[in-house]
Amino acid sequence: MAKEASGISRRALLSSGGLAALGGALAACAPGEPAPPERVADGVQPVPPMGEHQAGISVPTAVQPHLLLGVYDLEGDTGTVLARIGESILALTSGDHPALAGIAPGDLTVTVGVGPRLVQQVAPDGPGTEPLPAYPREEIDDRHRGGDLVIQVCASDPLVPPLTLAAVLENTPGLAERWRQRAARGPSVPVRDGHSAPRNVLGFVDGIAAPVTPDELAESVWIGDGDLAGASILVVRRMEIDLPAFHRLPVAAQEGVIGRERASSAPLSGGAIDDDVNLQAKSPDGKYLIPVDAHVRRAHPRPAGVPLMLRRSYSMDDPLGLLFVSYQAELRTFTQTMERMSESDALLDFTRTTAAGVFLALPGFDAQHPLGSTIFGAS
């Protein structure tokens, strides 16, 4: 059974209004903490690290262009390690941490998840205890599969993620690195109010269909009950892409692989970028407008019988490919989608996955309620 921090559950904390004052703007630091700068260069706004959910999942809505993600094994007391990481996050995002050497944190976010081995110790039957299954087109050794801890650092300034991660690791004994990956996102393309998505290395807009509204996020992304309320299931997969082979295809064939027009991002079934794909639409000669093995068909949530997942994927240049990152309330949202894709997704013919893991992205925290304390206890 999961431990409760300081004798108060997360549900009680939320219902009592303990986070209401905090969420009254989610912009104020706890008493005695340095306030983050109100604005930094180029109009980049700081992202408050405290709240019901961790920053870096559904906020900011305009996702930062630079990411550094690391996966680690953990030795020692889990609650103590997580609390120290949370202290580092609060200090680094405050704008008053020597590790950034005078560089403004800007829209820095640090998102932390724990692997199945650790979750099983405190909640053996709860979400986050299942390992990620193996799938076709994987070439993953033991070091690059699974792990106890993931730290995802995002920012607009490319200097901020490596300096931030170095500072977190320096202040946190007991972490042994398995692997890390840097990645980036190009300029975002407007999809609809409150949502935009970038083009990936293939040249197509990535992440068009996504939960955006509070109701959509509650249905698709957040775990809603118990000590895990406010948490989410994080899946990460590092996929190398044979980009030269994909680019040798004529544009029309590339569009058939994806199921969207490359230039406009409109679905091949017709409409605009924000229109849902019509999986039943056919040409006058009876052929599906969206091919039967197109990525948007195989990854569509409706045939899989699952909600939308929230994707925060980034393109890579070393190795060339895509760092797939998704958040969902249940692992089955990912696994049932991946099962359909594995059957016949034309895009997967150009990929090989070289690292993968699933983690419980922890609930939000603040200075009085340390990171992970509702699950692993206060340090």
**pLDDT tens readout for residues 62-84:** 899 999 999 999 999 999 999 99
Instruction: Summarize pLDDT for 103-151 with one digit per residue, the tens.
Output: 999 999 999 999 999 999 999 988 999 999 999 999 999 999 999 999 9
- Residue 177: how many CB atoms within 10 A of its CB? 15
Secondary structure class of 273 (helix, strand, coil): coil
**Could you state, in order of their start, the residue ranges of all structural domains in the chain?**
111-152+179-368
Is residue 266 a contact partner of residue 277, using CB atoms and an 8 Å limit?
A: no
Q: Which two tokens stand for residue 110?
A: 């640090």
**Which positions ≥6 away from 32 have C-beta within 8 Å?**
none
Using CB atoms within 10 Å of the CB of residue 17, give its burial: 0 to 12 exposed, 13 to 18 middle, 19+ buried: exposed
Q: Which of 81, 57, 315 is nearest to 181 (CA)?
A: 315
Is residue 182 a contact partner of residue 89, using CB atoms and an 8 Å limit?
A: no
- Residue 309: how many CB atoms within 10 A of its CB? 25
pLDDT at 379: 55
Q: Which residues pair with 359 in a beta bridge?
A: 234
Is residue 315 a contact partner of residue 186, using CB atoms and an 8 Å limit?
A: yes
pLDDT at 29: 36
Measured at the CA of 237, the angle between CA 232 and CA 239, to 5 degrees, comes to 155
Q: Which residues pair with 239 in a beta bridge?
A: 322, 353
Task: Classify domain 111-152+179-368 at the CATH class level.
Answer: alpha beta
Q: Which two tokens stand for residue 260?
A: 């969207």
H or E element, residue 317: strand 314-317
Is residue 184 a contact partner of residue 323, using CB atoms and an 8 Å limit?
A: no
**Which positions ≥6 away from 159 have C-beta within 8 Å?**
103
Q: Which two tokens stand for residue 128?
A: 């986050």
CA–CA dist 156, 140 (Å, integer): 30
Helix residue ranges, H only, 248-320: 251-258, 295-298, 301-304
Which residues of the chain fall short of a pLDDT of 70? 1-42, 378-379
Radius of gyration of the chain (CA): 21
Measured at the CA of 236, the angle between CA 233 and CA 241, to 5 degrees, comes to 150
pLDDT at 376: 95
Q: Which two tokens stand for residue 351?
A: 């990929």
